[in-house]
Structure 1
Amino acid sequence: MSRWVPFGLVSLVWLFLVIKNYRQHQYRRMLWWLGCWGLSALTWTPLAFSFGTDGELAQIHTSWWSGGVWVLRPFDPADMDTSFWLNIVMTMPQGMLLCLNWPRLRWPQWLLAGLGTGLALEGGQAIGNALVSLGRWVDINDVITNFTGVVLGALVMTWVTRHWSIDLD
């Protein structure tokens, strides 16, 4: 039960921010915080999903550190399973919401937001592993794919708004 405490505490923060933005009629910003909650639910709960076979997982180079499994070698062929690509898809909506909420941001800020997202999600898993044995893998590939998803989402939304001449302000 204690493994759910970090997600529960973070959920209270997201709930507060969602309600605050709802009351202020800032619905785009409310969707941003709901997206943050969704990413937290997918990454900071003790429920882990794997889309690789046991044989593929055994080939991944891992280290055990601070209560969890760490993958520090990027782009290992064994890591390039379905979950690698799903991590990109998972964070693309947050990149789209980034553009909807802060339309004046430019690509350097998108890069920072993508990197911040990847580091926050994997950092949360590392902290959860250390504090409550969350049981999640902390993977450099996830940082890279989360980063990529946010940036791609921002690019897609920028293209959509320019292609259809949508004013976000």
Structure 2
Amino acid sequence: MLVSCGWLVLVVKNWRARNWRRVLWWLGCWGLSALTWTPVAFSFGSESLGKITTSQWGGGVWVLIPLEPASIDTSFWLNVVMTFPQGVLLKWNWPHLRWSQVIGAGLLTGLTLEGGQAIGNAFVALGRWVDINDVLTNWTGVVLGACACALVARYGHWRLTSPKR
């Protein structure tokens, strides 16, 4: 609830300033946190692929070994899709970011989402898996979204400019 209140304040602040790009950015942040920090688990995996190596710690299930064959399932790819729009919004809002900063933002996105799940598991029994693969796929989605935005801007004759402050 506290995180949602914070996102709401930022959405309203930018709405009042008619800074629509930032409104979309903060709504995207809100949506990602709602998808990943609520006690609802989705499973799109397949039992036929094998077992995923897990550990129990801090009230939750942890996946610390990346890219095991059983972990590359539909949910793996949906994590990329989930964060792709945030990468587009990142590049659209801050077009002058260096690519190292975009890569860092993608990594920070993945770590924040999974870290929030770890904290939620420890304090309120959120029941979510904390998965290194999600960090990687969230990072990939943000970076691919930013790349797509940059390519459209470059070859689609669409100009990226910083939003008014």
Alignment partner, residue 14 of structure 2: 21
> SS of the counterpart of 1:64?
strand
Partner SS, residue 51 of structure 1 = coil
Q: Is 1:92 equivalent to 2:84 in the alignment?
A: yes
* Cα deviation digits, residues 86-125 of structure 1 (max 9, x gap): 0001000000000110000121011000000000000000
Tell me what 2:40 maps to.
Answer: 47
Any idea what SS the aligned residue of 2:75 has?
Answer: helix
Report the alpha carbon displacement of residue 55 of structure 1 after superposing the two structures with TM: 5.2
* Paired positions, count: 161
- Counterpart among 148, 151, 159 of residue 156 in structure 1: 148
**1:56-75 residue CA offsets vs partner (Å, 9 max, x unmatched):** 5x711000000000000000
Unaligned runs of at least 5 residues, structure 2: none
Corresponding residue for residue 12 of structure 1: 5
Whole-Å separation in 2 of the counterparts to 1:144 and 1:154: 16
What corresponds to 2:125 in structure 1?
A: 133
Percent identity over the alignment?
A: 66
TM-score normalised by structure 2 residue count = 0.95
TM-score by length of 1: 0.93
Q: Does 1:62 align with 2:54?
A: yes
Gaps of 5+ in 1: 1-7
Deviation at residue 77 of structure 1 after TM alignment: 0.4
Where does structure 1 differ by over 4 angstroms across 4 or more consecutive aligned residues?
none
Residue of 83, 92, 95 corresponding to 2:75: 83
Is 2:80–2:140's contact at 8 Å kept on the other side of the alignment? yes
Q: CA deviation at 1:14?
A: 0.5
* Preserved contact between residue 46 and residue 73 of structure 2 (Cα < 8 Å): no
Give the distance between the partners of 2:64 and 2:48, measured in 1 at CA.
19
* Residue of structure 1 aligned with 2:135, choices 124, 143, 160: 143
Amino acid at match of 1:132: V
Could you tell me whether the CA contact under 8 Å between 2:41 and 2:128 is conserved in 1? yes
Distance 2:46 2:101 in 1: 37
Distance 1:116 1:52 in 2: 25
